[in-house]
Structure formats: structure tokens, C-alpha cells
Amino acid sequence: MTTGLPHRRGDEAIDTIAGLCDPLRRRLYQLVADHPGPVGRDELAEATGAKRGLVAYHLDRLVDDGLLEVSYARRTGRAGPGAGRPAKLYRPADVEVTVQLPARDDTLVAHLLATAIETERTGAARRALRRATRAAGRRLGKALHARTVDELVGELGERGYAPVVEPDGIRLRNCPFHHLVGDHLELVCHLNHDLLSAAIDQTGIGLVAELDPQPGSCCVRFRSANRG
């Protein structure tokens, strides 16, 4: 699960994202965020058509701004003398940045509502929430323009799920509701599953949503409906 991300707000958040006003830097950040693993300068230079030196400059500025993190690895698979220098690789930093004018605190209300639902003894509040969530999922599914896996990936990306295609389905690398997961894990995961299950049923793409919690990912993934 995605939990406990450092959160930047206010002036700190504005300073952090100011560099993303540069179109190339913003494109590089998105490419790194969309990549299933750490990615190097050469791949990013090829993807953008920009010179490697310029790409390196912008990537390192994103590191300085706290939006990317660096690791090193040999891409050849060899080790020892003659294996070459490790490549500098980039991945998204574990940080959330919010710029909102004027400031709001919807998260507090969400926590209060989640707490009320969990502590309501009859279960009526939880059943009402699941009905509302499934209805919202059906509306979401009808609103999606996705009729292929690629289109679905694009739609899910716009909604903050950071999807990546795997051989047997789609893994969602980010939980859009992570603010609540730390204190309301079970409630949020089932709500998310209800939402995405109802949505995917409307698309006819041939995928089903299933609960499959993995470290660093959303609790829900999509798999082929024809898998045995």
C-alpha cells in the first residue's frame, strides 16, 4: 500500500513545482513517473528527442527540487573489471505536492466520515457507502472513453492510479486515496475495489478488478477475465 508520503503544501509546494513550468522538464518528470522502474538518461533523451546533456541537466534539477530520486546500476548485467561504470537512474521521489488556493482540508472530513462508518455498530452506514460507491463506479465506467487496454491505462493515469501494463493485466502503482489508508485500510480498499469493479464492468474490455495488495501499489489490480 501507498502510505505516509511526505506532503508539501503552501510556499514549499509552489517552490517544488515551479521548475515544472519548463515543458521539457515537465515531460521528463512524467516519463519517469510513468516508467515501471528506474530509467536512465539515454532512454529519456531518446524518448524526448532532446540532447543527452540537456536531459541530464533537467533531471538533476528535478532531483534538487525533491521530485526525483537517483540510484545507480550497471545496465549491461556484467560485474567486475571491464563492466563499465554504473548508470545513473531516476525514479519518482516518495513525496506528494499540493497547491490549492485557497487552502482546503477535505482530508479531515474524509477521515471523520470514515471513522463514523467504521464505528457505526449496525453496519447500515457501511452498506450505504458500498451502494453509493458501486453506483459511482457505474457512472464512472459509462463516462470512460476506454474501449481498449491502452485507452483504459490513459484514463486511469488521469485519475491518479499510475497504471502499468503487465502480461496478465494492469497493475495500479498509486492509491489516489492514500491519505486515508493508514487509519482506514480495510474500508478504503473495499471501497476502491467496489468503485473499480463497477467501472470496469461497464467498459466491456474483458478485465476484472481484484484485491491484490502489494507494497508500494494500489490494493486493486486488473486481470484478464479469461484467466483460468
**Burial level of 145, CB count in 10 A (0-12/13-18/19+)?**
exposed
Instruction: Tell which of 39, 71, 97 closes a domain.
Output: 97
Q: Are residues 124 and 220 in the same domain?
A: yes
Indicate if 195 and 145 belong to the same structural domain: yes
Q: Are residues 143 and 176 in the same domain?
A: yes
Same domain, 55 and 123: no
Write down the pLDDT at residue 46.
Answer: 96
Question: Could you tell me if 134 and 220 lie in one domain?
Answer: yes
Angle CA 66–71–75, to nearest 5: 140
Side-chain half-sphere of 118: how many Cα atoms within 13 Å?
Answer: 15
- CATH of residue 49's domain is 1.10.10.10
- pLDDT tens per residue, the chain (228 residues)? 444 566 777 788 888 888 899 999 999 999 998 888 899 999 999 999 999 999 999 999 999 999 999 999 876 655 555 556 788 999 999 888 888 788 888 889 999 999 999 999 999 999 999 999 999 999 999 988 888 899 999 999 889 898 988 888 999 988 888 888 889 999 999 999 999 999 999 998 989 999 998 887 899 999 988 765
| Rounded Cα–Cα distance for residues 126 and 117 (Å) | 6
Number of domains comprising the chain = 2
**Does one domain contain both 212 and 125?**
yes
Digit-coded pLDDT (tens) for 120-139 = 999 999 999 999 999 999 99
Quick one: pLDDT at residue 77? 59
Q: Are residues 122 and 203 in the same domain?
A: yes
- Residue of 152, 170, 174 lying closest to 161 (CA atoms): 174
**Cβ(227)–Cβ(212) under 8 Å?**
no
If asked whether residues 120 and 217 sit together in one domain, one would say yes
47, 63, 97 - which closes a domain:
97
Indicate the pTM of the whole model: 0.76
Q: Are residues 137 and 188 in the same domain?
A: yes
In a domain, residue 129? The reply is yes
Cis ω for the linkage preceding 102 (within 30 of 0): yes
User: 213 and 111 in one domain?
Assistant: yes
Q: Which domain holds residue 121?
A: 106-224
